[in-house]
């Protein structure tokens, strides 16, 4: 007899962990239908495994049930092996199932797309489980490792020194080299094949092979950032480094120090990845040519009328030198996918002019309007940036931003000596003009370390600003008050 959920007496006995004597009695008195699944597709063995039943009960069920019960799957596609691994059942119970199930049952996927061994990481004794599978069938374990090389990291030392398994794992996924035996890590052919697929695995090779020129070169050709794991000789090879930074400018951080000071190497890196400028040494991150190579002051996109305008307010836009932190933030914005949808305007620090005798005098009446500015030069209705007063240039960009739904992003740097966030004098003027025009300001507040020194900007900080801008747009852009964004 079954209840409304399709449960019979044996289902309930297995669910409530009845004694072996009771389970045996039920099975001995019941008809064959006792092995049927309930409405959830679970048969008695599923329920026994789900509740980590007595080993004796499992033995009785497996011995008395139809031969395919260990490979059966419930409505969610879960087999008994799925359940015992996922629920961290006793190794003895797992052994009973492993010894009974056919080859295919080790690789049957549930409705979530996972085979039983996917859940091995959730068991407290995975190495014992793998040893059980090896005892059952070497071919099953070999196939499992080929399908999922991560299994090797759960293997016992005894299994890892069996090179047939390690080679299978590395051949399937080079990252498995990390868990391979020292013999495999020192096998030049295996390592060379692995780094040609994923250069970063060079770090797991033997010490000797990490300095092998062929392995190093193959690794860097595959993954330029693998330069990090090469020898000093390779990191100082100008030709190798130049080719690597052509693919990924961030490789510059792993080059030898002398190459991180060379302008041609830095320019190659920056033209590929503008933010790699932060890895330049010897003061080259303030070199004018290297700074211009970032494209930060290329205003061509800002002139595209279809793009909303972002007017950047940074110390770098008004000082006669570029401020490192503001420059880096601007470069990360340039690389951000969301902000690429805007025309971003940065005042060129090498072409700043002013109608004021003092470049950044806040008392000077000019606020970029035609009736307050005495230094206006236009061509075809557009300001000639290198001849106009910087206030007029900014005002025109702000007016454009007002018309096309743009914003101001203002970088407020942390000044350690003042122990505070300070705006430059020019930024204060820009704030005043933005409020006059009616453009939303997002003020980015630089984070600081416990020792009160500023935290250099990273891409994650730009992403945090992006989140705030998106929320403002989604809210209908009605709040025009200045928004402070404290990035962390």
Q: What would you report as the CA-atom Rg of the chain, rounded to the nearest whole angstrom? A: 33
For 403, residues 6+ apart whose C-beta sits below 8 A from its C-beta are none
Pairing outcome for strands 420-422 and 407-415: antiparallel
Positive/negative CA dihedral, 393, 394, 399, 400: positive
Average pLDDT, the chain: 90
**pTM for this model (two decimals):** 0.69
Chain CA centroid to CA 242, Å? 26
CA distances from residue 290 to 244, 276, 294 in whole angstroms, order as listed: 18, 11, 7
Count CB atoms within 10 A of the CB of residue 62: 19
**Can you tell me the mean pLDDT for 370-385?**
83
408: its two tokens:
């101001």
pLDDT, mean of residues 304-316: 79
Q: Which residue has the tokens 């006793």?
A: 90
- Sign of torsion over alpha carbons 374, 378, 383, 384: negative
pLDDT of 305 reads 53
Q: Do residues 110 and 76 touch, judged by C-beta distance below 8 A?
A: yes
Q: Which residues pair with 484 in a beta bridge?
A: 443
pLDDT digit string (tens) for 269-280? Answer: 999 999 999 999
Q: What is the mean pLDDT of residues 372-384?
A: 83
CB-based contact 280:252 (threshold 8 Å): yes
Sequence-distant (≥ 6) Cβ neighbours of residue 476 within 8 angstroms: none
Query: Residue 417, exposed/middle/buried by CB under 10 A (0-12, 13-18, 19+)?
Result: exposed
Confidence of residue 317 (pLDDT cuts 50, 70, 90): very low
Q: Give the pLDDT band (50/70/90) at residue 306.
A: low
Mean pLDDT in residue range 247-269: 97
For residues 418 and 149, give the distance between their C-alpha atoms in angstroms, rounded to a whole number: 54
Q: How confident is the model at residue 146 (pLDDT cuts 50, 70, 90)?
A: confident
């Amino acid at each position: 007899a079954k209840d409304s959920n399709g449960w019979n007496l044996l289902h309930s006995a297995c669910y409530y962990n009845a004694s072996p004597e009771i389970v045996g009695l039920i099975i001995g008195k019941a008809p064959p239908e006792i092995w049927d699944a309930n409405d959830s597709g679970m048969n008695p063995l599923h329920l026994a495994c789900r509740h980590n039943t007595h080993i004796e009960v499992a033995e009785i069920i497996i011995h008395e049930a139809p031969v395919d019960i260990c490979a059966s799957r419930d409505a969610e596609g879960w087999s008994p092996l799925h359940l015992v691994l996922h629920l961290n059942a006793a190794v003895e119970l797992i052994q009973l199932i492993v010894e009974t199930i056919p080859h295919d049952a080790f690789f049957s996927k549930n409705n979530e797309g996972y085979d039983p061994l996917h859940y091995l990481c959730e068991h407290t004794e995975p190495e014992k489980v793998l040893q059980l599978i090896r005892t059952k069938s070497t071919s099953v374990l070999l196939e499992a490792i080929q399908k999922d090389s991560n299994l090797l990291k759960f293997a016992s030392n005894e299994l890892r020194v069996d090179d047939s398994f390690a080679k299978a794992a590395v051949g399937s996924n080079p990252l498995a080299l990390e868990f391979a035996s020292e013999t495999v890590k020192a096998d030049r052919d295996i390592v060379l094949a692995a780094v040609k697929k994923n250069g970063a695995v060079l770090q797991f090779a033997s010490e000797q092979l990490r300095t092998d020129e062929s392995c190093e070169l193959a690794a860097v050709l595959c993954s330029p950032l693998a330069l990090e794991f090469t020898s000093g000789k390779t990191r100082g090879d100008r030709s190798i480094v130049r080719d690597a930074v052509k693919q990924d400018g961030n490789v510059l951080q792993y080059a030898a120090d002398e190459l991180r000071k060379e302008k041609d190497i830095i320019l190659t890196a920056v033209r590929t990845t503008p933010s790699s400028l932060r890895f330049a040494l010897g003061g080259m991150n303030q070199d004018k040519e290297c700074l211009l190579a970032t494209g930060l002051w290329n205003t061509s996109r800002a002139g595209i009328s279809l793009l909303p305008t972002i007017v950047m307010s940074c110390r770098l836009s008004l000082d006669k030198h570029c401020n490192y932190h503001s420059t880096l933030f601007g470069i990360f914005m340039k690389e951000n996918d969301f902000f690429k949808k805007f025309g971003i305007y940065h005042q060129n620090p090498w072409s700043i002019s002013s109608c004021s005798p003092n470049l950044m005098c806040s008392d000077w009446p000019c606020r970029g309007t035609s009736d307050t500015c005495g230094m206006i030069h236009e061509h075809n209705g557009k300001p000639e940036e290198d001849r106009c007063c910087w206030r007029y240039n900014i005002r025109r960009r702000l007016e454009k931003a007002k018309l096309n739904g743009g914003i101001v992003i203002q970088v407020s740097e942390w000044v350690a000596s003042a122990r505070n966030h300070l705006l430059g004098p020019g930024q204060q003027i820009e704030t005043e003009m933005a409020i006059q025009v009616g453009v939303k300001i997002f003020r980015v507040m630089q984070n600081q370390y416990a020792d009160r020194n500023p935290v250099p900007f990273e891409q994650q900080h730009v992403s945090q600003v992006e989140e705030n801008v998106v929320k403002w747009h989604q809210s209908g852009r009605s709040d025009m008050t200045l928004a402070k964004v404290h990035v962390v």
